[in-house]
Amino acid sequence: MKQFEVPSVYRSELISAIKASRKKADKLKKDFSPTKVEAGKVTFYLARHFGFCYGVENAIEIAFRTIEENPGKRIFLLSEMIHNPQVNADLLAKGVQFLQDTYGNQIIPFEDIQSDDIVIVPAFGTTLEVESLLRSKGIAVEKYNTTCPFVEKVWNRSEQIAKKGYTIIVHGKPKHEETRATFSHASEHNATVVVNDMEETQVLAKYITGELPSATFYETFKGRYSENFNVERDLQKIGVVNQTTQLATDTQAIADYLKSVMIDHFNLAADQISERFADTRDTLCYATNDNQSAVVGLLEQEADFALVIGGYNSSNTSHLVELCEHKLPTYFIDSADKILGKDELIHCNWRTKEISSIKDYFPNQSSVRILITSGASCPDALVEQVMVKIASFFDAESFISAAKEEFQAA
């Protein structure tokens, strides 16, 4: 896989050595057991896969190279490059301006954009409407487009099945940049509707079977269906794609459920299923799958609590928190600064995004075991900083340096 040039401040010699060692020993990525790092009285267990994915590193490389190659030019980002506060703050510090917030609300009017400005499309992609608007102003959208290739894969798959007459069901968070972009690209080719979760999917199924009157669909899914969507016509033949950072198991459950609904409702034989339901299993993102599978492996390790590091508005990171908290106390932080000491840390609720102070989170015992993972937009440097911060509670920072040397020699 291509090696990207990202600012060294985001790298960690320790984490890089660990990842290189694990990759060397497990080239086919079949071992999802965690990596053990001992630091005196603290033992860290790191997930097999975590941190920057291909799409994120690609976006960061393009963004910083664009800044370097265009001194004096006005450079804009459509919205956050990725969902990581440090990376976005670094871009702002270099003079980059955001045109929209993460929900698509305008910060700088598009009217202010001039043809000699540079506009970078973030890793989530953007809508066809925004692309068209920028092109009308003379902006070369494709030149500074950092859209993740795995997001584009979803768009391509949507187009393929749409051209065969399938209505597109998008499993995603309706307000998320990627979901809005995928909806735009899919609906260009055929009818499209967004479902947030299994509960909404079950409601949609009742419109497929006729259990709910079609007239109420338009209010229930307001703002989440394509123009001229017709319930009687457009739910006869469907396929499911997803926002790539959703829980893979959730997307698969939704696809399996809708497939069973179509089989039962239309009384389909095994060789007739494709007449009503498209197989779209291949739209799941490899990094999302790997990180989530690694957390499953991580949770097999007995521990006292888990730390998940990443941006609070990061969808893929939130799902890692969701997985961990089913098993043990889990704290969602975006930097080592949120660890105030052994007696307090600042935690984000992944569902509500409420920030709260957690007292006495650190167990009062002779040794402590901590599970650690991070989101796909989290720099490895932040993970090492968290480990060093915790090790410092026991004057065990030297163990981190020793671990780096050990893994580098492996």
CA 191/CA 188 separation, integer angstroms: 8
The H-assigned helical ranges of 210-314 are: 217-220, 231-234, 248-266, 286-298
Tokens of 59: 């976006």
Q: Is 124 helix (H, G, I), strand (E, B) or coil?
A: coil
User: Which stretch of DSSP H or E encloses residue 133?
Assistant: helix 128-136
CA distances from 340 to 103, 123, 332, 347, 358 (A): 31, 32, 14, 11, 10
Determine the longest span between alpha carbons in the chain, in angstroms.
67
3-state secondary structure 214-236: HHHHHHHCCCCECCCCCHHHHCC
Phi, psi of 333 (to 5 degrees): -130, 155
Task: Tell me the β-bridge partners of 206.
Answer: none
* CA-derived radius of gyration, the chain: 23
CA distances from 260 to 37, 119, 280 (A): 45, 44, 15
> How many whole angstroms from its chain centre is CA 221?
24
On the 0-12 / 13-18 / 19+ scale of CB atoms within 10 A, 174 is middle
Cβ count within 10 A of residue 10: 20
**First-residue to last-residue Cα distance in the chain:** 22
What residues act catalytically?
178
C-alpha dihedral over 293, 294, 295, 300, to 10 degrees?
Answer: 100
Phi, psi of 155 (to 5 degrees): -60, -45
CA 100/CA 128 separation, integer angstroms: 16
